[in-house]
Amino acid sequence: MTAHPPKRYIVALTGASGMPYAVSLLQKLAAKNVEIHGLVSAAGAQVLKLETGLSTSEVSRYMTRLYDEKDFAAPVASGSFPHDGMIIIPCTMGTLGAIANGISNNLIHRSADVTLKEGRRLLLILRETPLNRIHITNMLRLAEAGATIMPAMPGFYHHPTSIEELVAMFVDRILDVLGLPDPEAKRWGIES
């Protein structure tokens, strides 16, 4: 019997607020022994450092491979690179706009474009407030093109007592959407 190949995800960090979600997702995915192909935009690296104190190379320990955002020859730039989903976390309005309009200025935009054209799952963890009409229109365009729009909006109904708990609860929702549920996740109506 052949061994089942590990699941493979592309995880991209762009320069929006919300880096603790990205770090938590990377940690939880790495613990599941899936392949993680990582991308970090220049602004993403800046905000990562500002919000978590971590450098790109420090978070790359959770990744199977990290690609330069200008490396258009990377495997993730091609539809022939099979994967189980791409998550942009956090996702800026700039990256949203580029993908919604088919502009592949960097490898993150290109990989997202390819993910959509191949009919694979694209999950955008957007973060901005308030939203203007352009942001909302771009979200609708991408939702209609098959992307899953998942704004970084944690719930409070589990009464989180720390930022870590709040972040973990939101990341558990992302894992649910990816079909990788955490057995420890708190669930409404289910006693843990």
Ligand X SMILES: Cc1cc2nc3c(=O)[nH]c(=O)nc-3n(C[C@H](O)[C@H](O)[C@H](O)COP(=O)(O)O)c2cc1C
Interface residue list for ligand X (CB under 6 A): 14-17, 41, 43-44, 46-47, 50, 92-95, 127-128
* Closest CB to ligand X among residues 16, 36: 16
* Closest CB to ligand X among residues 13, 168: 13
As measured in angstroms, the least distance from the Cβ of 6 to ligand X is 28
> Look-up: residue for tokens 């104190």?
53
* Closest CB to ligand X among residues 116, 126: 126
Token output for 119: 């009919």
As measured in angstroms, the least distance from the Cβ of 99 to ligand X is 10
> Look-up: residue for tokens 């970084």?
152
* Closest CB to ligand X among residues 14, 115: 14
Q: Please count the CA atoms within 13 angstroms of the CA of 31 that sit on its side-chain side.
A: 11
| Residue 190: DSSP 8-state | B
Residue nearest to ligand X (CB): 15
- The closest of 78, 171, 91 to 138, measured between CA atoms, is 91
Residue 187: strand, helix, or coil: strand
Residue 130: strand, helix, or coil: coil
As measured in angstroms, the least distance from the Cβ of 163 to ligand X is 16
Phi then psi for residue 43, to 5 deg, are -65, -35
Sign of CA dihedral 69, 75, 127, 184: negative
As measured in angstroms, the least distance from the Cβ of 134 to ligand X is 11
Cβ atoms of 102 and 66 closer than 8 Å: no
* Closest CB to ligand X among residues 84, 128: 128
As measured in angstroms, the least distance from the Cβ of 41 to ligand X is 3
